[in-house]
């Protein structure tokens, strides 16, 4: 009898812990979503400022209207639950922002209204998300990733065939990239130095692509490179793809680089070279380093990400492009031989991921026990 009682108690405890985990995970996701709406709102505020500086009151009004028109309804449930009076204050602030930043208002008075709105958004963050979680590096990384993912869609709506067709959407994309970079500047010292340095370089590539009105596909490639590198920085698992698939993708893309460059299609050659590195070799870097191939990774990074792309930018002779690609392909043969060793490493990464998840769950449980402000 005692034996069965103990088993029943153990099962009840297990169910209880599982329920707490689901609630904690749900609470974390809700706070992440809410914080994401706040970040997009801050992005719109920045767009308002940029348009006011350019004396474009019409576009400033568009962005001043977006938070109340597109984001507030998603924030309201959490705000109303936390503090109905403050919820009304947020709604009033966002509704009046367009009027307070309009063409009949001085630039200084408009900035005062924007700054006051920013303070309200910060209060909302502390009220709903909390001070501790708001300062958590992993939480901020996830906000960055969300902003960058949203920016991809906004850019695709705004730019077609190298021309801005919908300026508001183009500026939305720019604003969300800008806001993600602001968050990055807050946490980059907390991230591994190598990943932090690469993320900075990828941001430079992304902004250059914006300046050139590059294709939405190229914008997505650069944005995802930041998203993926951020994931590596906080220990997220990469997408489950056979590593040899990346090797074959790289070979195929690099051979296409030679073909397109020979045809005089420099832009496509650049895009293909970028994809070879950012969409494929990036996933091989960590396992290669774990296999003791750090020097090989450094060589490949220099040859693919820097040298080849610079050669294409600078209109290098076809013979030099072909030689560079052939040299990279030779090193890819070495990579292909090392890839089968990744199995053991993948198991180690999985173990680390499980441990990280357990730590996060524990932290989430503690957060659910904190009293709501």
What is the rounded distance in angstroms from the CA atom of residue 140 to the CA atom of residue 133?
A: 9
Query: Is 310 inside a domain boundary?
Result: yes
Are residues 226 and 246 part of one domain?
Answer: no
Tell me the mean pLDDT in the region 305-330.
Answer: 94
How far is it, in rounded angstroms, from Cα 10 to Cα 288? Answer: 43
CA dist., res. 234 & res. 231, Å (int) = 5
Q: In whole numbers, what is the pLDDT of the chain averaged over residues?
A: 85
Residue 369 forms part of a structural domain: no
User: Which residue range(s) make up the domain with 149?
Assistant: 138-233
DSSP-derived secondary structure for 194-243? HHHHHHHHHHHHHHHHHHTT--HHHHHHHHHHHHHHHHHHTTPPPP---H
Rounded-to-10 torsion of CA 138, 139, 144, 148: 100
Residue 361 belongs to some domain of the structure: no
Which token pair is 173? Answer: 């994309």
Q: Are residues 24 and 153 in the same domain?
A: no
> How far is C-alpha 9 from the geometric centre of its chain's CA atoms?
44
Per-residue pLDDT band for 358 (boundaries 50, 70, 90) equals very low
Residues 220 and 330 in one domain: no
- Look at 195-204, 238-247, 281-290 and tell me which has the smallest mean pLDDT: 238-247
Question: How far is Cα of residue 46 from the mean position of the Cα atoms in its chain?
Answer: 18
- What confidence category does residue 272 fall into, taking pLDDT thresholds of 50, 70 and 90? confident
Say what the pTM is.
Answer: 0.73
For residues 23 and 47, which has the higher predicted lDDT (pLDDT)?
47
Report whether pLDDT(373) > 90. Answer: no
Q: How far is it, in rounded angstroms, from Cα 216 to Cα 218?
A: 5
- Whether residue 363 has pLDDT greater than 80: no
Q: What is the pLDDT of residue 341?
A: 57
- Is residue 72 domain-resident? yes
Identify whether 276 is part of a domain. yes
Percent of the chain with pLDDT over 70: 83
Q: What is the share, in percent, of the chain residues with pLDDT greater than 90?
A: 66
Q: How far is CA 347 from CA 63, 115, 280, 302, in A?
A: 47, 49, 21, 29
Write out the H or E segment, with its range, that includes residue 169.
helix 167-187
Same domain? For 119 and 153 the reply is no
Residue 127 lies in a domain: yes
* Residues 175 and 302 occupy one common structural domain: no
53 and 151 housed in the same domain: no
In this structure, are 218 and 299 located in the same domain?
no
Question: Are the C-beta atoms of 301 and 351 separated by less than 8 Å?
Answer: no
Considering the domain architecture, whether residues 172 and 205 belong to the same structural domain is answered as yes
Asked if residue 215 has pLDDT above 70, the reply is: yes
The verdict on 265 and 224 lying in the same domain is no
Q: Which of 209, 233, 257 is the last residue of a domain?
A: 233
Describe the crossing of helices 294-301 and 318-338 by its angle, rounded to 10 degrees: 160
Residue 345 binned pLDDT confidence (cut-offs 50, 70, 90): very low
Average pLDDT of the segment spanning 62-88: 93
- Asked which of 183, 200, 233 is the last residue of a domain, the reply is 233
Region 42-51 average pLDDT:
97
Average pLDDT over residues 32-53: 97
Q: Are residues 218 and 242 in the same domain?
A: no
**152-194 confidence digits (pLDDT tens):** 999 999 999 999 999 999 999 999 999 999 999 999 999 999 8
C-alpha span between 135 and 187 (Å, rounded)? 9
The answer to whether residue 359 is domain-embedded is no
Distance, CA of 210 to CA of 311 (rounded, Å): 21
CA distances for 248 relative to 7, 133, 217, 335, 339, angstroms: 52, 41, 21, 11, 12
> Packing angle between helix 282-290 and helix 216-233, nearest 10 degrees?
30
pLDDT score of 326 more than 50: yes
User: Averaged over 186-207, what is the pLDDT?
Assistant: 94
Distance CA 156, CA 216 (A): 5
pLDDT of residue 287: 82
Average pLDDT over residues 283-312: 88
Distance CA 299, CA 303 (A): 6
Q: Among 141, 200, 145, which Cα is nearest to 356's?
A: 141
Instruction: State whether 44 and 56 are in the same domain.
Output: yes
Question: Residue 237: pLDDT band by 50, 70, 90 thresholds?
Answer: low
Number of domains in the chain: 3
Note whether 46 and 149 are same-domain residues: no
* Residue 201 located in a structural domain: yes
Which of 233, 257, 290 is the C-terminal boundary of a domain?
233
């Amino acid at each position: 009898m005692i034996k069965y009682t103990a088993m029943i108690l153990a099962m009840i405890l297990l169910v209880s812990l599982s329920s707490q985990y689901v609630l904690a995970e749900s609470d974390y996701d809700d706070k992440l979503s809410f914080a994401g709406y706040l970040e997009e709102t801050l992005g719109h505020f920045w767009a308002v400022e940029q348009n006011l500086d350019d004396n474009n009151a019409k576009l400033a009004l568009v962005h001043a209207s977006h938070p109340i028109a597109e984001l507030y309804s998603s924030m309201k449930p959490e705000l109303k639950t936390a503090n109905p009076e403050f919820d009304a204050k947020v709604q009033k602030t966002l509704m009046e922002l367009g009027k307070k930043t309009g063409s009949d208002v001085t630039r200084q008075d408009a900035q005062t209204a924007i700054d006051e709105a920013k303070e309200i958004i910060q209060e909302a963050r502390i009220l709903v998300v909390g001070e501790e979680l708001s300062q958590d590096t992993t939480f901020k990384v996830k906000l960055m990733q969300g902003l960058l993912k949203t920016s991809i869609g906004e850019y695709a709506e705004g730019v077609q065939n190298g021309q801005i067709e919908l300026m508001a959407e183009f500026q939305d994309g720019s604003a969300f990239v800008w806001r993600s970079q602001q968050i990055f500047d807050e946490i980059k010292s907390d991230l591994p130095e190598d990943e932090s340095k690469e993320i900075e370089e990828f941001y430079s590539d992304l902004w250059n692509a914006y300046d050139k009105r590059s294709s939405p596909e190229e914008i997505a490639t650069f944005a995802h490179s930041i998203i993926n590198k951020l994931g590596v920085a906080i220990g997220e698992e990469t997408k489950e793809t056979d590593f040899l698939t990346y090797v074959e993708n790289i070979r195929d893309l690099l051979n296409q680089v030679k073909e397109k460059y020979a045809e005089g299609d420099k832009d496509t050659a650049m895009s293909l070279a970028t994809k070879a590195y950012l969409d494929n070799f990036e996933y091989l870097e960590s396992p290669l380093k774990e296999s003791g191939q750090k020097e090989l990774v450094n060589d490949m990074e220099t040859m693919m990400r820097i040298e080849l792309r610079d050669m294409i930018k600078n209109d290098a002779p076809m013979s030099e492009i072909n030689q560079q690609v052939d040299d990279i392909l030779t090193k890819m043969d070495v990579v292909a031989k090392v890839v089968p060793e990744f199995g053991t490493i993948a198991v180690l990464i999985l173990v680390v991921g499980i441990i990280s998840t357990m730590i996060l769950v524990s932290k989430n449980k503690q957060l659910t026990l904190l009293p709501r402000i």
